């Protein structure tokens, strides 16, 4: 008897912008797997019912994105360590009869830097711009890799302090006015804010104040080179765009649902880069 088609999904609201179906579709074709991965628009009011129907509808699991990551965290039966620390879930799967929730954003962030800037974790103090959900994933990744001096800068100091208290030793909280001083010896600058995104063009920090060995990365990937990365490149600094984080965070989920650990290749990156170009 032929094995049933294995099904996974990404759920969000809205969801039509998601590149995840292209990523997973590429891997399904590459590995010759009889499977599907679809984008599903789920309104917040319908999310709990959607989760409850997953097994009945034949899904192995899937991804959740904005605005469902915290709702998924609250509603799954069990969570992995990364999800517990970050406080959000982006990956779902069934294990021993339970719906599990995990968070692969920290993995994606670290794997992207491993790929593009090997040795990054030993590059000195890290300055993280922003204190939202993405910042939590970045800080978790930095802590996991042994970065001992993590500085959070945020417009609302109270939110930075919440993350400082959440992550503990080695993490400090600062207002925007401290940015210039904190850049002077930072070896890694990470933008987790929406500044630099299409429609929100702006420079989240001035990289001219960084030391020559600094690495600058932005989790924004539309545009691929944000104003921050362009300024850092012009300054002669090593830069890492945010697309790799999107690609690498997808790897663990695909492995759970389809039984094969895929690779982030130049071909996959080129496929998604082509999709980022505005259509005429």
Tokens read off for 67 = 């605005």
- Six token digits for residue 56: 């009945």
Note if 16 is an active site residue.
Answer: no
- Scored b (16 or more CB within 10 A) or e, 2-26 reads eeeebbbbbbbbebeebbbbebbeb
Per the structure block, which two tokens stand in for 148? 């001992």
Task: Report the DSSP beta bridge partners of residue 61.
Answer: 8, 93
Beta bridge partner(s), residue 218:
191
Which among 7, 69, 238, 279 is annotated as catalytic?
69
Compute the C-alpha angle 275/82/147, nearest 5°.
90
- For the annotated catalytic residues, the residue numbers are 69
């Amino acid at each position: 008897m032929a094995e049933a088609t294995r099904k996974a999904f990404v759920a969000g609201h809205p969801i039509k912008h998601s590149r995840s179906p292209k990523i997973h579709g590429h891997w399904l074709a590459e590995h010759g797997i009889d499977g599907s991965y679809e984008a599903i628009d789920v309104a917040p009011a319908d999310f709990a019912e959607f989760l409850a129907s997953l097994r009945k509808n034949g899904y192995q699991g899937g991804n959740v994105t904005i605005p469902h990551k915290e709702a998924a965290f609250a509603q799954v039966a069990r969570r992995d360590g990364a999800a517990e620390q970050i406080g959000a879930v982006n990956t779902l799967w069934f294990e021993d009869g339970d719906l599990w929730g995990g968070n692969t954003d920290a993995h994606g962030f670290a794997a992207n830097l491993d790929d593009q800037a090997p040795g990054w974790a030993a590059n000195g103090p890290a300055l993280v711009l922003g204190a939202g959900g993405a910042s939590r994933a970045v800080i978790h990744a930095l802590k996991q890799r042994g970065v001992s001096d993590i500085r959070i800068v945020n417009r609302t100091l109270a939110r930075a302090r919440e993350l400082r208290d959440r992550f503990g030793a080695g993490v400090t909280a600062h207002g925007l006015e401290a940015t210039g001083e904190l850049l002077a010896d930072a070896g890694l600058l990470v933008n987790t804010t929406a500044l630099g995104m299409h429609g929100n063009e702006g420079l989240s920090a001035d990289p001219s104040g960084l030391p020559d060995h600094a690495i600058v990365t932005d989790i924004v990937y539309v545009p691929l080179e944000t104003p921050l990365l362009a300024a850092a490149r012009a300054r002669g600094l090593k830069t890492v765009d945010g697309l790799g984080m999107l690609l690498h965070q997808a790897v663990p989920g695909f492995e759970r649902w389809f039984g094969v650990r895929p690779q982030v290749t130049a071909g996959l990156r080129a496929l998604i880069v082509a999709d980022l170009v505005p259509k005429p």
